[in-house]
Amino acid sequence: MWNKREDEPLRPSAPTPVAATPQPPQPPVVAAAPERREPAAAGAGAAGIGPSITIVGDVSGEEDLTILGKVEGKIVLPKHSVTIGHGGRVKADIQAKFVSVAGEVHGNLVAGEQIVIRKTATMLGNLTAPRVGLEDGCRFRGSVEMEAPRQGTASSGAPAQPAAKPEPAPVRS
């Protein structure tokens, strides 16, 4: 009675942007899914490297890319998204607009907008992007360099102030 979403049968209420493969309605189902829907995968023109595919060499192009297989080399898609799905294994530096990692990556990532490291990811390398998201539980070793937020937007980023008078007395052992 109170939770209409559970009572009502799932129905496609709005047309989905991807015409070729209609997606089921997202709400409660997607919220509970372990891996969130990636912007790259949502794009109509996304290319994919399947689980059985191995590519050795450089990858570049003008569309979003989803990797579920293995890639060794270099990936350059500065205007598009690169998604390394769960099971995907990449040994390469990646340059893209948006990078999402749920699989395994050995290499440095540079993104124009955002990098997201999912909790299932193993990421060894350096991350450079204006926004970097790391889910708790992910395996990550490397450095993170983010652009500094604008002045006054983050209280935590306020300039250092003189130390307050210590409350607990220092102890000597």
Q: Under the rule (CB under 8 A), what is the footprint of other proteins?
A: 117, 132-146, 148-149, 154-157, 159-164, 166-168, 170-173
CB of 98 vs other proteins, minimal distance in Å: 17
Q: Nearer Cβ to other proteins, position 61 or 157? A: 157
49, two tokens: 């490297």
- Count the neighbouring beta carbons within 10 Å of the beta carbon of residue 89: 18
How far apart are the C-alpha atoms of 103 and 7, rounded to whole Å?
36
CB of 106 vs other proteins, minimal distance in Å: 11
Over the range 50-71, which residues count as b (16 or more CB within 10 Å of their CB) and which as e?
eeeeebeeebeeeebbbbbbbb
57-65: list long-range contacts, CB under 8 Å, 24+ apart. Answer: 59/92, 64/39, 64/40, 65/40, 65/96
CB of 18 vs other proteins, minimal distance in Å: 30
